[in-house]
Amino acid sequence: MSSWLLALHVFCLLCRGLASPVLHPRSDDYFQPNSTGLWMQHGFETVLVQPFGYDGFRVRAWPFRPPTGQEASFIYDPPLEGPENGEAHGMQFDTASIGNHSVTIRNGNILVRTIGWGGNPGGYRLAFIRVEDDGSETLLTNEYAPLKSINPRYYSWPGSGSEFNAQFSFSTTPDEQVYGTGTQQDHLVNKKGSTIDLINFNTYIPTPVFMSRRMEFGPWRNRFTADVATVVDYVIFAAQPGDYDTLQRKLSALTGRAPTPPDWSLGYLQSKLRYENQSEVVLLAQNFKKHDVPVSLIVIDYQSWAHQGDWGLDPALWPDVASMAAQVKNLTGAEMMASLWPSVSDHSANYLDMMASGYLSATKSGPGTTDSWNGSYIRNYDATNPAARAFLWDTLKKNYYDKGIHNFWIDQADGGALGEAYENNGQSTYIQSIPFALPDVLYAAGTQASVGKLYPWAHQQAIEDGYRNATNSTIGTACDHISLSRSGYIGSQRFCSMIWSGDISSVWETLGLQIASGLSAAATGWGWWTVDAGGFQVDPTVPWSANIDTPEYRELYVRWLQWTTFVPFMRTHGSRACNHQSAYTCDNEPWSYGEENTPIIVSYIHLRYQLKAYLQTIFQQLHKTGRMIMRPLYMDFERSDQNIASLTQANTNVTTQQYMFGPRLLVTPVTTPNATEWSVYLPQTGDNSTRPWTYWWTNQTYAGGQMVTVPAPLEHIPLFHLGSRVEILRGDVF
């Protein structure tokens, strides 16, 4: 069975497909595309199919009116790599059909062929086929339309305008495995059988269907629906069975390669909810120096401003921002980051200017408010408006960047309301979760229903454009600064922006959920991913949740912090409870979890810095080829270990809780309390070594292809490595 990827603008879905290999795209005998494209007219519908990149096709379809050319696109035309040699496709074609005969176009070892009902020649349905080495053909997928079924490309018109509803269906099989789809809190790596609503909110970042509302992965049909669209646009391409690195390379060639992050960002990033004023931040830096704990970033979180939309620190609490940033740098060497929300209150100094200039989002009906916060109604800035993005950055630059705070936390970035799945955000514990419909927000680019998925991407773009202008650098080159976003979309990886998993609860179950979430982020193409170590918020059903003075939570925090040593960015954050409050809010520093735990926490912070060369190497590979950093086991071992495919299909703990961190480290976080030992599955690597895996803490070696139980006291995360530790610490791993 082969791997294939289908993209609805682009659909970042990694699958175990319906057959086996295609040739490497850069081989000398690569079959160059034999057509520039197929224009197919079918009643009121037009379909344009073009060879795209290596072993791929791009398909666009529309009823009646052709696309305007102004639709937001996350696809590079031409791709970064491919037979195009730098020439864009545009709307080119050299073949036309009305469905009265069969048409076949080839690109590399992939064909697209028009077929009729029941697979008969002719017709207007599309089939995607692999050419085998012996010249035979194997079906990868086709537009799903069994006899007397609804059309696989189905349109309807729910409103009075020309925008339409679309449903597109493709054939599948019950044993297909589906990877990616952004991040959901579902404990699944294999998404087969899932139905995923494509709307962003806190902790839920579905992707990648632009202008779509749902993905359904059934036993025989995969269906993608959009409530509002002006064009349907997807890309499909293939790779050899189990060759997920080639799929990631092709995906990133279409949607963007991650730049390399600044070296300092690979260290330990400190945050809590929240540091209240300048004196507290300076004292924090002094304490890091006193405790001799390395730190690379100190974060100022939300409500540090006087009013929503000021996009600057409250001068009553932060009287000398430049001096504070300089003191932090001198004491610790750390950079600083500040939070921004997209919301603007009418109390803000920026409100009238933004209102007059059309920089605030509205609603299709009603008073134009998009959410509420702390009792005041607010409107979000319109990230889809380039002028609004420029206004945001200019304000941030004046109030932060020019004063020494160069990194930004793009919180509440989800679009629509403030990214919550309910209205009345923060008003009262008694009126949350009222089942109102989400506001139908109106942006410069369209409505929430039509372009809502663009919002977080455009918000990230606002900061990226600002960074690049301030540093006179271009997108894709090495980053001097970083942003942190609660949401994203296709191509977010091209920005100097990491995505985190949102406001998660501080309990053991949630820790386990984040591992699968991070692995789905990786399959989607997001290499810059992180999490709140320790969780973000108290779970009211668990008495000790997030309480730093309880032994139960201290144990959870240590295990969580251990794990973040082995995610792309090591970061702590969260709202903490405590029995003895020493500041405005409870502490969340490395020394806050008891004398017995501080040495463990600090040891993992030091280990993170010891792995600097390894981290630089794997981030460099991500930049060059799209090769993922957090790697689900199927990425490396599906071909060498016959158990991996079945374990992944069943979403067992082996494949939702274990992963490779780069090419040499196998990580298995402890996700239950009171553990003193832990069972780990060691994949068969396929090499000739009979004992390829080494346990990091004891140097004991084990053969692959078996489950082993290892000691896992609180100070040890189950961690295995391939090859020598010296090579790993030196970064000599490829």
Per the residue annotation, which of 233, 503, 532, 587 is the catalytic one?
Answer: 503
- Other beta carbons within 10 angstroms of residue 527's beta carbon come to 26
What's the pLDDT band for 10 if we cut at 50, 70, 90?
very low
Compute the distance between CA of residue 339 and CA of residue 93 in angstroms, rounded to an integer.
48
Q: How far is CA 573 from CA 250, 253, 561, 569, 663, in A?
A: 34, 33, 10, 12, 28
Residue of 227, 228, 224, 246 whose CA lies nearest to 237: 246
Asked if pLDDT for residue 449 goes beyond 90, the answer is no
Residue of 709, 698, 704 whose CA lies nearest to 722: 704
Looking at per-residue pLDDT, the higher value among 375 and 489 belongs to: 489
Task: Give the pLDDT confidence of 197-233 residue by residue, as tens digits.
Answer: 888 888 888 875 333 356 888 999 999 898 888 899 9
Q: How far is CA 481 from CA 219, 246, 465, 468, 497, in A?
A: 45, 29, 12, 10, 9
Compute the distance between CA of residue 645 and CA of residue 658 in angstroms, rounded to an integer.
14
Asked if pLDDT for residue 441 goes beyond 50, the answer is yes
In terms of phi and psi (left: phi > 0; alpha: psi -120 to 50; beta: otherwise), the region of 29 is alpha
Q: What is the model's pLDDT at position 318? A: 98
Enumerate the β-bridge partners of residue 298. Answer: 270, 336
Main-chain phi, psi angles of 164, to 5 degrees: -130, 165
Contact between 540 and 551 under an 8 Å Cβ cutoff? The reply is no
Task: Give the pLDDT confidence of 289-332 residue by residue, as tens digits.
Answer: 999 999 999 999 999 999 999 999 999 999 999 999 999 999 99
Asked if pLDDT for residue 550 goes beyond 90, the answer is yes
Lowest mean pLDDT among 43-47, 372-376, 442-446, 536-540: 372-376
Asked if pLDDT for residue 11 goes beyond 70, the answer is no
Q: What is the model's pLDDT at position 435? A: 67
% of the chain residues with pLDDT over 90: 73
Domains of the chain: 38-172+220-255 (no CATH), 263-500 (3.20.20.80)
How high does pLDDT run on average in the chain? 90
Q: What is the model's pLDDT at position 1? A: 29
Residue of 449, 340, 347 whose CA lies nearest to 391: 340
Calculate mean pLDDT across residues 48-73. 89
- Which position has the token pair 């998009």? 370
Q: What is the model's pLDDT at position 212? A: 38
DSSP run (H or E) holding 154: strand 153-156
- Other beta carbons within 10 angstroms of residue 210's beta carbon come to 30
Calculate mean pLDDT across residues 690-708. 93
Task: Give the pLDDT confidence of 64-101 residue by residue, as tens digits.
Answer: 988 876 677 789 999 999 999 899 999 999 999 998 88
Q: Please give the biggest Cα pair distance in the chain.
A: 79
Catalytic, 320? Answer no
Provide the sign of the torsion angle of the four alpha carbons 569, 575, 581, 583, taken in this order. Answer: positive
Task: Give the pLDDT confidence of 236-284 residue by residue, as tens digits.
Answer: 988 878 899 999 999 999 999 999 999 999 999 999 999 999 999 999 9
Burial class (CB in 10 A: 0-12, 13-18, 19+), 489: buried
Contact between 515 and 564 under an 8 Å Cβ cutoff? The reply is no
Asked if pLDDT for residue 394 goes beyond 50, the answer is yes
Contact between 55 and 277 under an 8 Å Cβ cutoff? The reply is no
Contact between 209 and 224 under an 8 Å Cβ cutoff? The reply is yes
What's the angle, vertex CA 576, arms to CA 570 and CA 581, rounded to 5? 125
Q: What is the model's pLDDT at position 511? A: 97
What does the buried/exposed string (b/e) look like for 26-52 if buried means 16 or more CB atoms within 10 Å of the residue's CB?
eeeebbebebebbbbebeeebbbbbbb
Asked if pLDDT for residue 14 goes beyond 80, the answer is no
Q: What is the model's pLDDT at position 624? A: 97
Per the residue annotation, which of 411, 414, 549, 641 is the catalytic one?
Answer: 411
- What are the strands, taking DSSP E only, across 476-547? 483-485, 497-500, 529-530
* Tokens coding 440: 């139908």
Q: What is the model's pLDDT at position 211? A: 33
Asked if pLDDT for residue 8 goes beyond 60, the answer is no
Task: Give the pLDDT confidence of 505-542 residue by residue, as tens digits.
Answer: 999 999 999 999 999 999 999 999 999 999 999 999 99
Task: Give the pLDDT confidence of 457-515 residue by residue, as tens digits.
Answer: 999 999 999 999 999 999 999 999 999 999 999 999 999 999 999 999 999 999 999 99
For every residue of 453-482, DSSP letters joined together read THHHHHHHHHHHHHHHHHHT--TTSPPSS-
Query: 700 in helix, strand or coil?
Result: coil
Calculate mean pLDDT across residues 133-143. 90
Asked if pLDDT for residue 18 goes beyond 50, the answer is no
- Which position has the token pair 């405005």? 584
Q: What is the model's pLDDT at position 59? A: 96
Q: Which residues lie closer than 8 Å to 559 by C-beta, 6 or more apart?
A: 511, 669, 670, 671, 714, 717
Residue of 630, 659, 511 whose CA lies nearest to 569: 630
Calculate mean pLDDT across residues 693-702. 97
Asked if pLDDT for residue 12 goes beyond 80, the answer is no
User: What does the H/E/C string look like for 175-237?
Assistant: CCEEEECEECCCCCCCCCCCEEECCCECCEEECCCCCCCEEEECCCEEEEEEEEECCEEEEEE
Task: Give the pLDDT confidence of 343-373 residue by residue, as tens digits.
Answer: 999 999 999 999 999 999 998 887 777 777 7
- In this structure, which long-range contacts are made by residues 721-725, counting pairs with CB atoms below 8 Å and at least 24 apart in sequence? 721/664, 721/665, 721/666, 721/693, 721/694, 721/696, 722/663, 722/664, 722/666, 722/685, 722/692, 722/693, 722/694, 723/664, 725/694, 725/696
Distance of CA 273 to the CA centre of its chain: 23
Catalytic, 292? Answer no
Contact between 535 and 560 under an 8 Å Cβ cutoff? The reply is yes
